[in-house]
């Protein structure tokens, strides 16, 4: 940076300043043409100590310079950083990826990620971190302190960033927009995962069925449907789940918390996506289109289930016999033949059933309801099976 540019961008507001000495200080701070240095964890710690000393010096020369763009007073330490916040200048480029930084110190901190060095060790567990701020953030998990309170509900969080993410469940804000479709997300991580659905490349192939995945973690989660592995246990009851998300969903059955209310009816839901799926009943929206026929569905899981009618894939294998099923619920219903389980109890008598549809059909014997009407005569029946059997009398 030339002395002329320095003169243009700063002005003295307290006492006489030697412009040559200012330029030397700025050159020391910027070092635009200097090559990125090699460093170790020890040299990085030394660098942080030097930064602390530099901050302490800045208190003695506070308010020496003023930014002409917003009339903001600046100290020796922060003047050039502030100017770059106005111009978005980032002269320090990482050679291992496309990230750039406004100060060399930020580049040095970033480069530690590539070296794998983690000089900051937690004193209460075996975790280590590349930066001191990450260590401080982690240590809060040991203290149990949750200073960040949600203003819309009684939840509290140990980190401000988690509170911000949580508050979006109340506001519905989705700041992360996909550049290839019109979908938006409340979390950056969800957007990154979604972006991979646009890539044709799905290198992770399931060895048990024909499904493939863009991420290895998704394949591992899927494979649990074949192996039956359920590592996530509910602490309130003895149920186990193959996915952490399924456990969280289940836990709301104990708490009864349903914060998402439908504006069209009186139903409420524990999760926002459940509300979105429900609202499609009112709007009639079916955004999930089958590529092999003209059918469309309100939920993506319904589309996936339907597509198996075209492919004939039956990934759900019974462990007790050789039968296989295209849908998981069909396997669960079938397995009750082997176990004898009858979880659906009639509230008006002592009968129990292995399937919910059988319970519904039975309950009509108490209510007298006969919703299945014959189209050729005036007879009606309490279940579809009885109607089908009756209709054969007209064919004969």
* 206-232 pLDDT, tens digit each: 888 888 887 788 888 888 888 888 888
pLDDT at 323 (0 to 100): 92
Q: What would you measure as the largest C-alpha separation in the chain, in angstroms?
A: 112
pLDDT at residue 315 above 80?
A: yes
Q: What is the pLDDT of residue 321?
A: 93
Q: For the domain bounded by 156-255, which CATH number is listed?
A: 3.30.160.60
List the chain domain ranges. 3-116, 156-255, 260-339, 344-395
Spatial CB neighbours of 84, under 8 Å, sequence gap ≥ 6? 90, 102, 103
Q: Quote the mean pLDDT of the chain.
A: 76
Per-residue pLDDT at 168: 84
Round to whole Å and give the CA distance between 41 and 19: 36
Report, at the CATH architecture level, how domain 344-395 is classified.
2-Layer Sandwich (3.30)
pLDDT recorded at residue 83: 66
- Structure tokens, 115: 């070296």
Distance CA 350, CA 366 (A): 13
Q: Could you tell me what percent of the chain has a pLDDT over 90?
A: 8
Q: How confident is the model at residue 61 (pLDDT cuts 50, 70, 90)?
A: very low
The answer, yes or no, to whether residue 265 has pLDDT greater than 50, is: yes
Kindly give, in sequence order, each residue whose CB lies less than 8 Å from that of residue 349, ignoring residues fewer than 6 positions away: 366
Q: pLDDT per residue over 332-351, tens digit each?
A: 889 999 999 998 999 999 99
d(CA 354, CA 176): 44
Secondary structure element (H or E) that encloses residue 34, with its range? none
Q: Which of 280, 298, 281, 276 is nearest to 289 (CA)?
A: 298
| 8-state DSSP, 343 | -
Strands 72-74 and 65-67, by their bridges, are antiparallel
Residues with Cβ < 8 Å from 112, sequence gap 6 or more? Answer: 41, 44, 130, 131
User: Residue 196 carries which DSSP code?
Assistant: G
Q: Which helix (H) or strand (E) holds 131?
A: none
| Domain 260-339, CATH homologous superfamily name and number | Classic Zinc Finger (3.30.160.60)
Do 260-339 and 344-395 fold alike per CATH? yes
């Amino acid at each position: 940076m030339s002395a002329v540019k320095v003169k243009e961008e700063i002005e003295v507001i307290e006492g006489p300043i030697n412009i040559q000495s200012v330029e030397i200080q700025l050159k020391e701070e910027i070092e635009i043409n200097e090559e990125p240095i090699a460093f170790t964890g020890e040299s990085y710690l030394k660098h942080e100590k030097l930064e602390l000393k530099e901050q302490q010096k800045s208190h003695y020369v506070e308010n020496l310079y003023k930014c002409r763009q917003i009339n903001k007073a600046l100290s020796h330490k922060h003047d050039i950083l502030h100017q770059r916040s106005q111009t978005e200048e980032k002269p320090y480029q990482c050679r291992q990826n496309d990230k750039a930084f406004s100060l060399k110190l930020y580049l040095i901190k970033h480069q530690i990620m590539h070296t794998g060095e983690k000089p900051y060790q937690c004193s209460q567990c075996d975790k280590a971190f590349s930066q001191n701020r990450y260590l401080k953030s982690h240590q809060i998990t040991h203290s149990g302190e949750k200073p960040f309170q949600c203003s819309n509900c009684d939840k509290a969080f140990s980190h401000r960033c988690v509170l911000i993410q949580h508050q979006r469940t109340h506001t519905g804000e989705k700041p992360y927009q996909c550049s290839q479709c019109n979908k938006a997300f409340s979390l950056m991580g969800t957007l990154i995962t979604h972006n991979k659905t646009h890539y044709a490349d799905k290198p992770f192939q399931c060895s048990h069925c024909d499904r493939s995945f863009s991420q290895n973690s998704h394949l591992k989660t899927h494979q649990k449907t074949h192996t039956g592995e359920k590592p996530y246990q509910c602490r309130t009851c003895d149920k186990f789940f193959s996915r952490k998300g399924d456990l969280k969903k289940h836990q709301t059955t104990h708490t009864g918390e349903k914060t998402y209310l439908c504006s069209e009816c009186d139903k409420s839901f524990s999760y926002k996506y459940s509300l979105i799926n429900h609202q499609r009943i009112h709007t009639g929206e079916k955004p999930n289109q089958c590529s092999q026929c003209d059918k469309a569905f309100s939920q993506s899981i319904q589309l996936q289930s339907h597509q198996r009618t075209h492919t004939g894939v039956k990934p759900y294998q019974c462990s007790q016999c050789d039968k296989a099923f295209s849908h998981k619920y069909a396997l669960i219903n079938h397995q009750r033949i082997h176990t004898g389980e009858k979880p659906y109890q009639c509230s008006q008598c002592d009968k129990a059933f292995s399937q919910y549809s059988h319970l519904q059909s039975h309950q009509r014997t108490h209510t007298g309801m006969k919703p299945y009407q014959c189209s050729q005569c005036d007879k009606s029946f309490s279940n579809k099976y009885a109607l089908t059997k009756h209709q054969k009398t007209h064919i004969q």
